[in-house]
């Protein structure tokens, strides 16, 4: 019995020693990565913050001051701009936290800022998905769109996403940080609770994979519809390029960061224990997380053109000018505008342009 107890104590002591060595090596790796990364973060975050604020505040100003009528597209893009601002607001504090420790009394404020950052990130992902689905409905299913699309439905969808994201992220993020009794680094070194399988699986599936697959499928069908329509106009081709660019601007920032999160999860699960691999993964994670924030700058560029006027123009070309039973007797210019096409169709059909615009409202 004494010999068995001694062996058990020896084994437990060995396990404890290994655990402490792993913790010490992890802390050493974090310090080796954090020191150079704080300079990289500063170089990335400053231009992202300035450009992102300019684009998103400018978009909100245009939508609120210049638009006479709120459409589904502008509602979604306004909500996306607000989500991007939520992501941008914590960035100055994130830059400060990279160089300075925060007093213990600021833990609640730190958790709140971390919440805003994650809400802005994943709320923006879902808003981009909604814009893609809305575009798919308008172009691929115009008759169903008349029943399903409306400004009221868009507002309700946006409100639902805001509630869903806040409800899903706030309780989880507040539990990510271990309560400490001394100074700490905000936005760094979350507790092991944040790397539990349940949290990471939900994050990967519902935070990235599901919205990404939805956006890819909708964008592919829109492109296929435009290509199969036989309309090779400049506007249709430009729309295809914009959709492809928007898809790339979604996948390129978020795919590497979520791959890095999964690899870091394997490190925390002791699947990857090699020190050099752990250091590379930690560097990869922090770099991709920094670069993923560039999406708040790209949103204003890629989705600015996916507005209601573009969708209406494509609808006119596909479902009126593309109808073999309908041929315009009056030729129109090579780069037609909404007004040009509307007046040409109205002149031939004997319909007032204002009435035709009302009928084409989708």
Q: H or E stretch including 326? A: none
Which pLDDT score is estimated for 278? 87
- Domain containing residue 202: 2-326
Q: H or E stretch including 248? A: helix 234-268
> What is the largest distance, in Å, between two alpha-carbon atoms of the chain?
104
- Cα–Cα distances (Å) from 310 to 1, 238, 277, 338, 357, in that order, read 82, 10, 48, 9, 14
Are 97 and 188 in contact, with CB atoms under 8 Å apart? yes
103 within a domain of the structure (yes/no): yes
Give yes or no for residue 2 having a pLDDT over 70.
no
User: Mean pLDDT throughout 263-291?
Assistant: 89
User: Mean pLDDT throughout 265-290?
Assistant: 88
354 within a domain of the structure (yes/no): no
Give yes or no for residue 67 having a pLDDT over 80.
no
181 within a domain of the structure (yes/no): yes
Confidence class for position 241, pLDDT limits 50, 70, 90: confident
127 within a domain of the structure (yes/no): yes
332 within a domain of the structure (yes/no): no
SS3 content of the chain, % helix, strand, coil (to 5): 80, 0, 20
- Cα–Cα distances (Å) from 255 to 86, 134, 176, 211, 241, in that order, read 21, 23, 23, 12, 21
Which pLDDT score is estimated for 9? 57
Sign of CA dihedral 287, 292, 297, 303: positive
Nearest CA to 160 among 129, 202, 139?
129
Lowest average pLDDT, out of 96-105, 124-133, 172-181, 319-328, goes to 319-328
Average pLDDT score, the chain: 77
Confidence class for position 345, pLDDT limits 50, 70, 90: low
95 within a domain of the structure (yes/no): yes
Percent of the chain whose predicted confidence (pLDDT) is above 90 = 31
Q: Which residues pair with 184 in a beta bridge?
A: 102
Q: Which residues pair with 102 in a beta bridge?
A: 184
User: Mean pLDDT throughout 49-62?
Assistant: 88
Q: Is the model more confident about 166 or about 346?
A: 166
User: Mean pLDDT throughout 315-321?
Assistant: 52
What burial class does residue 203 get, using C-beta atoms within 10 Å of its C-beta: 0-12 exposed, 13-18 middle, 19+ buried? buried
Q: Is the model more confident about 2 or about 122?
A: 122
> Which residue, chain included where needed, has tokens 């100074």?
183
Confidence class for position 207, pLDDT limits 50, 70, 90: very high
Give yes or no for residue 86 having a pLDDT over 70.
yes
Give yes or no for residue 231 having a pLDDT over 90.
no
Which pLDDT score is estimated for 316? 55
Q: Which domain CATH number covers 231?
A: 1.20.1070.10
> According to the per-residue pLDDT averaged within each range, which of 72-81, 153-162, 171-180, 217-226 is highest?
153-162
337 within a domain of the structure (yes/no): no
Give yes or no for residue 362 having a pLDDT over 70.
no
289 within a domain of the structure (yes/no): yes
User: Mean pLDDT throughout 270-298?
Assistant: 89
* Residue 350, Ramachandran bin (φ over 0: left; ψ between -120 and 50: alpha; else beta): left
Are 287 and 39 in contact, with CB atoms under 8 Å apart? no
SS3 178: coil
Lowest average pLDDT, out of 109-123, 227-241, 338-352, goes to 338-352
Percent of the chain whose predicted confidence (pLDDT) is above 70 = 68
Which pLDDT score is estimated for 211? 96
Q: Which residues of 130-160 are buried (b: 16+ CB within 10 A; e: fewer)?
A: bbbbbbbbbbbebeebeeebeeeebbebbee
Q: Enter the pTM of the model.
A: 0.77
Give the Cα separation of 304 and 56 in Å (integer). Answer: 11
Which pLDDT score is estimated for 120? 95
Which pLDDT score is estimated for 47? 94
Which pLDDT score is estimated for 242? 76
Are 294 and 43 in contact, with CB atoms under 8 Å apart? no
Give the Cα separation of 130 and 171 in Å (integer). Answer: 24
Number of domains in the chain: 1
Which pLDDT score is estimated for 344? 55
Which pLDDT score is estimated for 38? 80
User: Mean pLDDT throughout 334-348?
Assistant: 53
SS3 329: coil
């Amino acid at each position: 019995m004494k010999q068995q107890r001694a062996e058990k104590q020896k084994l437990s002591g060995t396990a404890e020693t290994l655990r402490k060595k792993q913790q010490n090596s992890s802390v050493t790796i974090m310090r080796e990565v954090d020191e150079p990364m704080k300079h990289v973060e500063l170089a990335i975050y400053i231009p992202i913050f300035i450009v992102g604020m300019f684009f998103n505040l400018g978009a909100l100003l245009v939508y609120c001051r210049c638009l006479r009528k709120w459409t589904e597209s502008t509602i979604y893009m306004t909500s996306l701009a607000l989500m991007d601002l939520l992501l941008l607001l914590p960035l100055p504090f994130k830059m400060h936290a990279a160089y300075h420790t925060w007093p213990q009394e600021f833990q609640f404020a730190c958790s709140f800022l971390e919440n805003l950052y994650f809400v802005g990130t994943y709320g923006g992902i879902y808003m981009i998905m909604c814009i893609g689905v809305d575009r798919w409905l308008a172009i691929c299913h115009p008759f169903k769109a008349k029943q399903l699309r409306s400004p009221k439905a868009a507002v309700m969808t946006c409100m639902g996403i805001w509630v869903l994201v806040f409800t899903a992220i706030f309780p989880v993020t507040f539990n990510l940080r271990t309560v400490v009794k001394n100074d700490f680094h905000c936005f760094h070194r979350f507790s092991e609770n944040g790397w539990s399988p349940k949290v990471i699986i939900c994050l990967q599936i519902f935070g990235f994979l599901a919205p990404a697959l939805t956006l890819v499928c909708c964008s592919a069908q829109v492109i296929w519809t435009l290509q199969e329509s036989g309309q090779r106009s400049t506007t249709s081709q430009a729309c295809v390029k914009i959709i492809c660019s928007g898809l790339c601007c979604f996948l390129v920032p978020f795919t590497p960061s979520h791959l890095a999160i999964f690899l870091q999860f394997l490190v925390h699960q002791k699947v990857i224990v090699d020190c050099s691999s752990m250091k590379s993964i930690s560097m990869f994670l922090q770099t991709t997380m920094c670069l993923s924030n560039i999406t708040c700058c790209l949103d204003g560029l890629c989705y600015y053109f996916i507005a209601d006027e573009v969708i209406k123009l494509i609808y006119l070309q596909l479902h009126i000018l593309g109808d073999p039973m309908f041929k315009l007797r009056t030729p129109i210019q090579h780069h037609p505008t909404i007004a040009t096409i509307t007046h040409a169709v109205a002149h031939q059909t004997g319909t007032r342009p204002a009435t035709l615009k009302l009928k084409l409202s989708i």
